[in-house]
Amino acid sequence: MENEEDESIEETFTDNDETEEIAEFDGEENSREVVVPGEVLTEDTKNFLPGRGTILNKDRTKIISLNIGLKQINKNYINVIPLKGSYTPRAGDKVIALVIDKNPVKYRLDINAKDQGILKPKNTVKRNKMRGFRGGGSDHEAPSTEKYQIGDILIVKVLSADRLNQPELTTVGQYLGKRRDGIVISINPPKIPRVIGRDGSMIKMLKNLTKSNIFVTQNGRIWLKGENIAYERLLIDAIKKIEREAHTVGLTDRISVYINNEKKIRGIN
């Protein structure tokens, strides 16, 4: 039973969950102003409010930036979209995790955040299976930490996360579970929205041009599997290029040209 559940994961993926933040990063093409911590964004505090990545000073006369990032004005909020930083888990995020420790009670997963994630065995098995439709809830069906081994790559969903406790994870859900093949690469987490693009335009283009499966997660890790190693290498180079140039204008077109050129140079079609 459990194996069947795992196999169903190997499909093509469409990432609809991760498109929320894109509007913020992709933004209006006219505002690409780089700001640094402590820089005064505006002194007009009557018309503007401090948004994400900003703070009012003590006298409430200036709005200043907290991060190195791009300044953006959304209605009357001033935001700073960071260009670098760490991943903060939020409930509902799908992330790629590495099993680094396990004991009979729980797994510990590295999710590229400041805290390790906790995966309890009850969250690795579907609820109705736990009750046991065959044996009427017999004890030998009780979940244990036998399912995954240390070193496994899992795609998990964050159930709950706050800044005091370790985030709790689950592997029950669509696309979630263990990955047996493919490559995992990691990039800077704030640049993930750019890899997805507005309404997933960038990721669709990458998939079409390189004939690969890609699964992008919010913690900066990307799972990919192509037809052959040449495509996978090209895709990794393209993603590294996106990461480097994430704050520039007209990225999607440039990446599409880049991939087509590289295909000719490398002799793959």
Q: Which residues here bind other proteins, judged by CB under 8 A?
A: 32, 34-39, 53, 55, 57-58, 64, 66-68, 82-86, 114-115, 163-164, 190, 244-245, 247-250, 254
Q: What is the DSSP letter of 174?
A: T
In the complex, minimum distance from the CB of residue 165 to other proteins, in angstroms, rounded to a whole number: 10
Q: How many residues appear in the chain?
A: 269
The structure tokens listed for 44 are 């007009």
Minimum Å gap between C-beta 104 and other proteins is 23
Place of tokens 């800044």: 163
Q: Which of residues 88 and 170 has its CB atom nearest to other proteins in the complex?
A: 88
Evaluate whether 153 touches 25 at the Cβ level (below 8 Å). Answer: no
Nearer to other proteins, 66 or 73 (CB): 66
Work out how close the CB of 249 gets to other proteins at its nearest, in angstroms, rounded to a whole number.
6
Closest by alpha carbon to 206, among 190, 181, 189, 185?
185
Q: How far is the CB of 226 from other proteins (least distance, A)?
A: 26
| Residue recorded with tokens 């990461």 | 243
Question: Rounded to whole angstroms, how far apart are CA atoms 174 and 176?
Answer: 5
Nearer to other proteins, 32 or 211 (CB): 32
C-beta of 161: minimal distance to other proteins in Å?
A: 14
Kindly tell me which of 86 and 228 has the beta carbon lying closer to other proteins: 86
- Return d(Cα 68, Cα 162) in angstroms, integer: 24
Residue 145 or 188: the one with the smaller Cβ distance to other proteins is 188
| Closest CB to other proteins among residues 66, 205 | 66
Residue 170 φ/ψ, nearest 5 degrees = -140, 150
What separation in angstroms does the CA of 93 have from each of 46, 130, 167, 206?
36, 24, 11, 22
User: At closest approach, how far in Å is the CB of 50 from other proteins?
Assistant: 13
State the minimum distance, in angstroms, from the CB of residue 78 to other proteins.
Answer: 15
In angstroms, give the least distance from the CB of 252 to other proteins. 12
Query: Is 94 within 8 Å of 17 (Cβ atoms)?
Result: yes
Residue with smaller CB distance to other proteins, 83 or 130: 83
E strands present in the chain: 34-35, 40-42, 49-50, 54-56, 63-65, 69-74, 77-82, 94-102, 107-110, 117-119, 153-160, 168-170, 177-179, 183-186, 213-216, 221-225
- Closer residue to other proteins, CB minimum distance, 67 or 72: 67
Greatest distance between any 2 Cα atoms in the chain? 69
